[in-house]
Amino acid sequence: MFDNLRAMGVFAEVVRQGSFRGAARKLGVSAAALSQTVSQLETRLDTALLYRSTRKLTPTDAGQRLLVHAQALLDTAARAEQELGHRDGTLRGVLRLTVPSGLIHAPITGKIAAFAKRHPALSLELSFSDIQQDLIAQGIDLAIRAGDMPDSSLRRQRIGSIQRLLVCHPDMIPAHAPLETPNDLMHLDWVQLAMMPAFKPFTHPQHAAINLPVSGRIQVDNIAGMLEMCKRGLGLATPPDYMVRDDIAAGRLCHLLSDWQVAPIPVYAVQPDSKIPNAAAQALIAALR
């Protein structure tokens, strides 16, 4: 079957060029090889496809009928190559993407929306989830993941970081003991995010870094839940800055230890490993950077 398809393509090109020599120049093979291919096709089909003369080639009636089908096959192949190879620079098809739920209101989501507007021929299937899906098993083209990445067979590229602020409900600030360093937080409750380690790294331009162990009786599985519990006075938290600036300005939350920086969370673009990277995924990664 595959030999027949190849031979039909050769036959169509020979007719288009009007000679084996012209087709040979176009395809980069010898005229003799093309002549042999067409002859073998005629033998398999048990019919003559070309009238040959020293000056020109003319399709027989059977050749004319075959040419219609051969040309349709070539046109289909050309359209598929253009669509999948993005030869005209247009991104098409479907890009399946998963993003942590905590980034719904982050600048990165705005960049994804802008990317979708720039590429109207491309469809996006977005999953906002804190569950780390199996990209290969679930057919996901690209995952945005936050936090340290374990070694794996997946391809990853760092695309940014999430800045965090240490906050709590105003009622949680102890009146009797001023908070000056992270060590002063040792005896306060935290709202813990399940997928994050049980310590908080703090840095200061004039002091040594501190990895503060944290604990609390409230544990949640996503950032929005962590922030909600924090706003209700159940513990300290370190949510992304874009999620709490309005609450701090309105007095609903207090920003603690403003001279100390909570270590930002790295953000990665993660893809299944493949010999030829997904063009739409690569274009989105470039936009997110």
Instruction: Give the start-to-end residue ranges of the domains of the chain.
Output: 2-85, 93-159+267-288, 167-259
Q: What is the mean pLDDT of the chain?
A: 86
pLDDT band per the 50, 70, 90 thresholds, residue 15: confident
Tell me, what's the pLDDT at 230? Answer: 95
Tell me, what's the pLDDT at 83? Answer: 57
Tell me, what's the pLDDT at 245? Answer: 93
User: 98 pairs with which residues across the strands?
Assistant: 127, 143
Backbone angles phi, psi at 271, to 5 degrees: -135, 150
**Multiple choice CATH, 2-85, 2.40.50.180, 1.10.10.10, 1.10.1060.10, 3.40.50.300:** 1.10.10.10
Mean pLDDT of 1-13: 78
**165-220: pLDDT as tens digits:** 999 999 988 766 678 899 999 889 999 988 788 889 999 999 999 999 998 999 99
pTM over 0.85: no
Higher-confidence position of 7 and 127: 127
User: Is 167-259 a domain of CATH 3.40.190.10?
Assistant: yes
Nearest to 162 by CA among 271, 244, 248: 244
**65-89: pLDDT as tens digits:** 888 888 887 777 666 655 555 555 6
Tell me, what's the pLDDT at 186? Answer: 86
Same CATH topology for 2-85 and 167-259: the answer is no
Mean pLDDT of 242-267: 93
User: Is 93-159+267-288 a domain of CATH 3.40.605.10?
Assistant: no
CA distance 40 to 7: 8
Backbone angles phi, psi at 275, to 5 degrees: -65, -40
Nearest to 169 by CA among 253, 258, 257: 253
Are the C-beta atoms of residues 278 and 140 closer than 8 Å to each other?
no
